[in-house]
Amino acid sequence: MEDIEPEAIDYLHGTIANMCGRIGERLRNKSLKFRTVTVKIRYADYSTIQRSKSIPVETDDQSMLQQLAIEIFDRKRNPEKYMRLIGVKVSGLTERGTQVALTEFF
């Protein structure tokens, strides 16, 4: 496997989207929601960073997962270094229960 050049942003975003799709499917299959998204980047020189972002309410929304992962990646990546590995994970998992209506809070 070759290291990926930093200019291949469409390829990198596509890879992240693919990972988020698989994670989203697993969450739905196991009836889970997440609250925190973590992105891991390992560069060609083997230096590694890992950054997370939490949201206030749990969700299993795949588009939210993808949006958060790409946002973290874009903010934290070094645009001058080749990448060897990208990873996405979710945490703060809870079981998906019945949906709560807004009127139940009043």
The per-residue pLDDT for range 54-93, each reduced to its tens digit, is 999 999 999 999 999 999 999 999 999 999 999 999 999 9
Please spell the DSSP secondary structure of 32-78, one letter per residue: EEEEEEEEEEEETTS-EEEEEEEEEEEE--HHHHHHHHHHHHHHHS-
Would you identify the CATH topology of the domain 9-105? Dna Ligase; domain 1 (3.30.1490)
The per-residue pLDDT for range 8-57, each reduced to its tens digit, is 999 999 999 999 999 999 999 999 999 999 999 999 999 999 999 999 99
Stated pTM of the model: 0.87
